[in-house]
Structure 1
Amino acid sequence: MTTASGSRRRHVGGQQSAMILGTLALTAIAVHLAARSAWVSEIVLAIVGLGMTAAVLTGIYRYQPEKPAFWWCVLICGAAYSTGAAIRMNPVSRADPSILLLSDLISLVGAVIAVTALAACWLRQPASRIDFDLLLDTVLIALGGLLASWTTLISPALRAGQGGAVENAIAVAFPIIDAGLLALLMHSIFVSTRNDAALRLVQLAVACVLIGDMGYALDAAGRTDLSSAALLVPHLVGGACIGAAALMPSMVHLNTLRPTHRERSRQRATAVAVVLLVATLVPVIGAGLEFVDRVVMSVLLGALLVGVLIRSERAIKRSSMSERNAQFQADHDKLTGLMNRQALIERFSTEARRDWAGNSVALLFVDLNGFKLVNDTLGHAAGDELIANSAQRIREVVGPDALAARYGGDEFVVAVPTGRRGAGMVADRIVHALTAPFQLHSGPARISASIGIAHTEHELTDATLDQLIRDADSAMYLAKARAVGGYAFYEAVQALDHVIAPTFWDTQPKAVRR
């Protein structure tokens, strides 16, 4: 078992190892830029590549990640990148187009492995909670990046290229892969809730690779005149970042699922997609486009438009659903799902007065007998479960036409559009439903219900509900005094010579009887 002090020592050790690796890599890169020699550049590339490999192997051995497949893919990808770059820098290889083509193919294999590994790591979601909106954001960013790549990189490279079909295919493949890398990078930034050093270093490495690939693509398109030494620097920095990430203890978390900031992801993804779209259209304005360019851009713009429309429609539905959920939570008791006291007053004053006009209306005040005993003996969790199950039975008995609300701790109010006889039948069904044993997680429980009934045949007003609740509450005390379980009408209270019911009216709901 790893102790807290052991974990801290590993963390400090990982930081120190990463700093040492970073210092050596920066020194080697500085020598690479100062020497301006192909042979020195190859040596530096070998040093950085071997250092990254050693760091990844050390991290796998030291921290034992449960799923090290990502890091093995990183090793393969790094080896492919380093081999391809070394071949391109070699003076002998530059004179042979077939060898240069081989180096591009090797680098392309490394890029495909990188995209596959990152996609498997950052896009993986449980089947039970796949976030379609986040995936749609990622696709939109990829389409925007691909559109930008076509206008600035792919089309110019195809026009300037003198190679055959394979060379042109490679010139097209790299920007497409980079568009995927950009989408994955932005996706990981949006969804990540952790601030792990390893994750941030991997993200920085991906950004460096994108910058380096863009430099090579611009150079191939004839839009820049950077030296081969300068073009190699971002890839060297990216390799150093990967090695440093592998030495951090948090490298084991890269393959684990993380919670997502959904709102932040949607907002930022939209902003990035719009920026990419605008940045793509700027160089097109006033430019002479060929037929192929127009076709490709029309398809990509159409796909972006469809994606944005789908996303907007889902955002509208999601906003409407959120409003409904917020209103439901404000109007309903969290434990039982029944209306709360305020919602009952509002519904009775609006919908009930409209829909029940001209009908008799009865109000049942339900109090649970024995709830306090269950709550004290089996615990508060059992008490909450009993309240929720009782509410469910009441809901099933009264049906959808009634207004049912949780009025207090173990008290419920039910309003139904019926007369005296119908109210007695509803009360009888509630009494029998609540008398049946409850099978709680903590054990079986038995309770009963005392119900007071008040009814009116007059026109409903704002004061009607208050009066019905007062009268039904008084009748409930009479039912409780008569027997354990049963119901009584308010007329019985009025007929008594002495007062059994309370002589005051408390406008606040009763405290939870626990």
Structure 2
Amino acid sequence: MRISGPRRGATIAYVFLGLSVAQTLIALIVGSTTLCTALLVVTSLAAIASILVGIRSRRPAFALPWWLLLASCIASAFGGMLTGALATADNPVPLTPQLIMLLTYPLQVAAAVTWLRAYAPATARTVSIDSTIVGVGALITVWVLLLAPAFAQHAPASDPRFSSATHLVFDAIVLAVVTHVAYTSARGNRAFGMIFGAFLTQLIGDGLLAIDAAQGTAIRGGSYMAVFITTYGLFAAAALHPSMVDIGTGAGSVPDRFRQRFVEVAAICMLAAAIPAARPPFGVWDQVVRAVLISCLIAGVLLRSERAVRTIAGKESDARHLAMHDELTGLSNRASLYAEHAALDRHGPFEPMSLLFMDLDNFKLVNDSYGHRTGDELIKAAAERLANVVGDRGWVHRHGGDEFVVTTYLDPERTDALARAILDEFSKPFTLRRVRVTLSTSIGIARTTGGKTPPNLDDLIREADSAMYHAKSRGTGSYAFFDDQLRASAVEQLKVTTDLTESLDDHEFELYYQSIIDVATGETAAFEALIRWHHDGIVHPPEYFIPIAESSDIIIDIGRWALGRACEQLAQWRNAIDGGNQAVSVNLSARQLRDVDFVSTVTDTLAAYGLPASALWLELTETALIDDDDIALTILEQLSSLGVTICIDDFGIGYSALGNLNKYPIDVVKIDKSFIAALGTQDEGDPKHHVLVTSIEAMSTALGLITVAEGVESADQLEQVKAIGCQFAQGWLFGMPLPMMQPWTDHVRPASQLRAQGQ
């Protein structure tokens, strides 16, 4: 099998490394100085050639560190070969080659620091301090063990103790830097792992050289030279490995993982403290040098500690900022709003304060049409525009989603002016990257009177939110103050909500039924179940309590009851009429279309009363499809697949009507009664509405849908909808909604037959 591409490059790298390790083992086992020297020369030259080939062939985008490593290997190899050429029995390690080899280490430090700055610029300074501490600790250690004895013995400059001590200090610094990069940004990179191994084996080799130098046995061909064979092999393998091109290209902010460097820093500090204590000084000059070096080490540790404290304090400050500010817009968030309110002087007196609650009208339409990224861009632009308008007149908070809160101590007149200024500013188009959007905002304003009692923030937000929806009811792009009328309405809504929770147990709900007629035959096709609430001696229509119920989860329980009661009644009618195949239509709320258990509720209810899915029609308005439309689509598709008939009610006055017909599994279109009422008589009716009804019916027929004309109240209207082509009609002409009655004897056709006729 032929190996090619990156896999082939990795194989070559591993083969080179394996050969280097094998040569190291051979040199250690044989113990021949000549063999060890020859293997080291061959490996070093091969490594230099391999690094050059790797750089030229792979062309890494961040090549500077590789050229520095190549230069360091050249200096090391040239110095080593020059040592063999100039060495004598009296001077086995001449000074000139030592100075040349010494160039190796600054070049390696430069390469390591270059990678550090490329990979982790945010932590480069901290790592540099840690590496300096390691270097000072290593310097203390080599001073006591190597340098001080050499100075005390008046050793010549060519004494290997001087060079080996220098090598160890640089090794410690380089390894500290490389350790950080290897365990953070370059983690998992095979080539950088080999570089780390190269520096580690180099430290081991220099350590063996230092031991020989301290004992006066530093001769060419020692065991340290065998270890250097592996060092060259690792450098070469790293340059040949395909992952070498990725080193240094992943620059970015990465967390500082001090734990990986802690072992090295702690070990060198412990050595720096223990070794001077175990070795007595050679004189006052030695004591002074030790004191200076230890002082430098302590200063480095203190600097590192001070920086660590500042880093922790900075992270805590960032965490507090993130906790109190919105990540997308940078505005204060809801938590900050409550924290600032809690920090107010609780002893009063309190100044009158206004709270403006606002959201972006039709924001969901933008979000759904252009995606969440455009939606986020719009939120940021709106936040910036709002902050600019408010300025120093108040404080702006993002409450969540497309909702914002402004708090201000302006008087009512100036608060009114501020609201107008916000509306004017938001009437201007937003120019985004993908689209130019024009939308408005609706604002609700609640105000405290001040005094000794602290304001309740939850009450203010609730009141301002109620005022905002009151403003929306008058049209988008407006504002409203929360006043006594709205307060009374809110109190009434709270009372109704409370009463509704008890009404199911008190059996206060009842279903009324209205016929849906086949206009061609006059036969009853189905019945719509309409809920009524008997409370306080009054029969309340759904318009009174359903909108309030939909503001809480009580609508789920009411809807479940209505579904069960309608199916129970239908089952009784079918059993009373042998072979009856009646259908019943039940209205759905928007919250039921977000109830993940709704499909199982329908199937369980049908099974409980022995009804087929075709016996059930479910009616929903277009507005019920606006929120969480993906969830609604999933639920409706599941119901349709069961055979349940899906009807869209009040068609033509809602949101994105044509799109809903195409998107959702609709079976029946119920044309809103306002269009039918405008038909009037054939002589006096509005021709525009006649065209609209005709267009809706034609479009529905083309899509294979059934049409039901709602609100038919006269024979003339019936004739018109029949002429237009509507298959079914519903309205007071055929009877008012009535409570449970005896089974109808008319022929009633199931929904499946209706769909077949519609097609």
Q: TM-score, normalised by structure 1?
A: 0.83
Is 1:295 the counterpart of 2:270 in the alignment? no
Is 1:280 the counterpart of 2:272 in the alignment? yes
Task: Using the TM superposition, give the Cα deviation of residue 328 of structure 1 relative to its aligned residue in structure 2, in angstroms.
Answer: 3.1
Correspondent of 1:324 among 312, 317, 320: 317
- Kept in 2: contact 1:157–1:171 (CA 8 A): no
| Letter of the 2:237 counterpart | A
Root-mean-square deviation (CA, aligned residues, Å) is: 3.9
Task: Using the TM superposition, give the Cα deviation of residue 479 of structure 1 relative to its aligned residue in structure 2, in angstroms.
Answer: 2.7
Correspondent of 1:413 among 405, 408, 422: 405
Is 1:188 the counterpart of 2:188 in the alignment? no
Structure 1 equivalent of residue 35 of structure 2? 40
CA distance in 2 between counterparts of 1:68 and 1:376 reads: 46
Is 1:156 the counterpart of 2:144 in the alignment? no
Structure 1 equivalent of residue 259 of structure 2? 267
CA distance in 1 between counterparts of 2:112 and 2:489 reads: 83
Is 1:380 the counterpart of 2:375 in the alignment? no
| Letter of the 1:387 counterpart | I
Q: Deviations over 1:334-365 (max 9, x none)?
A: 333334445433432x1245497332122222
Structure 1 equivalent of residue 91 of structure 2? 97
Structure 1 equivalent of residue 647 of structure 2? none
Q: Within 5 A, what are the aligned runs for 1:314-353?
A: 314-348=307-341, 350-352=342-344
Structure 1 equivalent of residue 102 of structure 2? 108
Task: Using the TM superposition, give the Cα deviation of residue 395 of structure 1 relative to its aligned residue in structure 2, in angstroms.
Answer: 2.7
Correspondent of 2:418 among 420, 426, 437: 426
Q: Deviations over 1:402-430 (max 9, x none)?
A: 44333343332223234433322322222
CA distance in 1 between counterparts of 2:251 and 2:296 reads: 29
- Kept in 1: contact 2:120–2:254 (CA 8 A): no
Correspondent of 1:147 among 123, 140, 145: 140
CA distance in 2 between counterparts of 1:498 and 1:69 reads: 71
CA distance in 2 between counterparts of 1:317 and 1:507 reads: 49
Q: Kindly tell me: are residues 413 and 33 of structure 1, through their superposed partners in 2, closer, same or farther at Cα, counting changes over 3 Å?
A: closer
Correspondent of 1:392 among 378, 384, 393: 384
- Kept in 2: contact 1:478–1:493 (CA 8 A): no
Is 1:197 the counterpart of 2:190 in the alignment? yes
Structure 2 equivalent of residue 59 of structure 1? 54
Task: Using the TM superposition, give the Cα deviation of residue 51 of structure 1 relative to its aligned residue in structure 2, in angstroms.
Answer: 3.1
CA distance in 2 between counterparts of 1:81 and 1:423 reads: 78
Q: Deviations over 1:229-256 (max 9, x none)?
A: 3231111221222222233212333454
Q: Kindly tell me: are residues 294 and 317 of structure 1, through their superposed partners in 2, closer, same or farther at Cα, counting changes over 3 Å?
A: same
Q: Deviations over 1:305-347 (max 9, x none)?
A: 2332232223223222322332333333333333444543343
CA distance in 2 between counterparts of 1:355 and 1:183 reads: 57
Structure 2 equivalent of residue 133 of structure 1? 126
- Kept in 2: contact 1:371–1:513 (CA 8 A): no
Q: Kindly tell me: are residues 179 and 358 of structure 1, through their superposed partners in 2, closer, same or farther at Cα, counting changes over 3 Å?
A: closer
- Kept in 1: contact 2:121–2:253 (CA 8 A): no
Partner secondary structure for residue 215 of structure 2: coil
- Kept in 2: contact 1:193–1:259 (CA 8 A): no
Task: Using the TM superposition, give the Cα deviation of residue 441 of structure 1 relative to its aligned residue in structure 2, in angstroms.
Answer: 1.8
Q: Deviations over 1:96-133 (max 9, x none)?
A: 5397223323322334444444443x233389857322
Bigger shift: residues 56-65 or 287-296: 56-65
Is 1:477 the counterpart of 2:469 in the alignment? yes
Q: Deviations over 1:180-233 (max 9, x none)?
A: 333334343344433222212222111122222222223222277898432311
Bigger shift: residues 367-376 or 195-204: 367-376
Q: Within 5 A, what are the aligned runs for 1:200-219?
A: 200-219=193-212
CA distance in 2 between counterparts of 1:60 and 1:26 reads: 23
Bigger shift: residues 38-47 or 124-133: 124-133
Gaps of 5+ in 2: 494-546, 554-590, 592-625, 630-759
- Kept in 2: contact 1:368–1:447 (CA 8 A): yes
CA distance in 2 between counterparts of 1:507 and 1:143 reads: 69
Bigger shift: residues 446-455 or 16-25: 16-25
| Letter of the 1:55 counterpart | S
Partner secondary structure for residue 124 of structure 1: helix
- Kept in 2: contact 1:77–1:114 (CA 8 A): yes
- Kept in 2: contact 1:45–1:86 (CA 8 A): no
CA distance in 1 between counterparts of 2:344 and 2:265 reads: 49
| Letter of the 1:331 counterpart | M
Gaps of 5+ in 1: none
| Letter of the 2:47 counterpart | M
Q: Which has the larger radius of gyration?
A: 2
Bigger shift: residues 164-173 or 325-334: 164-173
CA distance in 2 between counterparts of 1:477 and 1:242 reads: 70
CA distance in 2 between counterparts of 1:210 and 1:378 reads: 58
Structure 2 equivalent of residue 253 of structure 1? 246
| Letter of the 1:29 counterpart | T
CA distance in 1 between counterparts of 2:355 and 2:220 reads: 87
Partner secondary structure for residue 351 of structure 2: coil
Task: Using the TM superposition, give the Cα deviation of residue 282 of structure 1 relative to its aligned residue in structure 2, in angstroms.
Answer: 0.8
CA distance in 2 between counterparts of 1:430 and 1:384 reads: 20
Correspondent of 1:49 among 44, 66, 75: 44
- Kept in 1: contact 2:95–2:157 (CA 8 A): no
Is 1:25 the counterpart of 2:20 in the alignment? yes
Structure 1 equivalent of residue 577 of structure 2? none
Partner secondary structure for residue 262 of structure 1: coil
How many percent identity over aligned positions?
Answer: 31
CA distance in 1 between counterparts of 2:383 and 2:256 reads: 34
Q: Kindly tell me: are residues 268 and 296 of structure 1, through their superposed partners in 2, closer, same or farther at Cα, counting changes over 3 Å?
A: farther
Partner secondary structure for residue 183 of structure 1: helix
Partner secondary structure for residue 337 of structure 1: coil
Partner secondary structure for residue 405 of structure 1: strand
Bigger shift: residues 141-150 or 176-185: 176-185
CA distance in 2 between counterparts of 1:512 and 1:301 reads: 69
The one of the two structures with greater contact order (alpha-carbon pairs below 8 A, sep at least 6) is: 1
Task: Using the TM superposition, give the Cα deviation of residue 150 of structure 1 relative to its aligned residue in structure 2, in angstroms.
Answer: 1.9
CA distance in 1 between counterparts of 2:549 and 2:411 reads: 27
